[in-house]
Amino acid sequence: MKSLEKIISLFRKFPGVGPKQAERFAMHVLKADLSEIQELSKTLGEVKENIKQCRRCYNFSEQELCSICSNTLRNQTLICVVEQPQDINAIEKAKIFDGVYHVLHGAISPLKGRSFSSIKIKELVERIEISPSGVSEIIIATNPDADGETTAIYLKQLLQKYVPKITRIAYGIPLGGDIDYMDEMTLSYAMRGRTKV
């Protein structure tokens, strides 16, 4: 059963997949029609070959420039910096942002041995420097955890000489949430990020 063990160990490499779930996926492969599995394997290969990173923002894209960077209706002087491409999808769903993005592909993490040079920070500085109409604001939307905060502080110090306005997204209490159920971290950020009403 060598090939069965191999497929289980391959599924285990997927994020959030434990041994039980990997086994369930492998069983599905065994039970499914051959054509279904052949289509899956062909599509996986095509996705890897056709989808590259946008040369400006490093979001995944089938074109050289992604649909957001090439959209002339978007404010190209307003850049929202995120850790991962999927963060863009989340913000786009909210339909509240008309600027463009920059994907770092990670965060600075002293504990995991990831420095500023292992994420797309140099590329961001170059992009700001060559931007034809300049950059009016950088919004730092890295995750509200230790690595995201370290990255945000680093970016603020690095970019303040290039960009007139640098902001950090506010963290708050989720809508429909109860204040007495919030953890201290969320509450303290919500307090600090308070706005005038």
Which residues contact Zn ion (rule: CB under 5 A)? 54, 56-57, 59, 66, 69
Q: Using the minimum distance from each CB to Zn ion, give the nearer residue, 59 or 76.
A: 59
Q: Using the minimum distance from each CB to Zn ion, give the nearer residue, 79 or 155.
A: 79
In angstroms, what is the minimal distance from the CB of 160 to Zn ion? 24
In angstroms, what is the minimal distance from the CB of 57 to Zn ion? 3
In angstroms, what is the minimal distance from the CB of 107 to Zn ion? 20
6, 27, 34, 135, 146 from 31: Cα distances, Å:
17, 6, 9, 54, 43
Q: Using the minimum distance from each CB to Zn ion, give the nearer residue, 120 or 168.
A: 120
| β-strands 52-53, 60-61 pairing | antiparallel
Q: Which of 170, 195, 168, 190 is nearest to 178 (CA)?
A: 190
Q: Using the minimum distance from each CB to Zn ion, give the nearer residue, 36 or 64.
A: 64
The token duo for 19 is 């041994």
Q: What is the distance between the alpha carbons of residues 75 and 82, in angstroms, rounded to a whole number? A: 17
Q: What is the distance between the alpha carbons of residues 38 and 41, in angstroms, rounded to a whole number? A: 5
The token duo for 28 is 């599905």
In angstroms, what is the minimal distance from the CB of 21 to Zn ion? 33
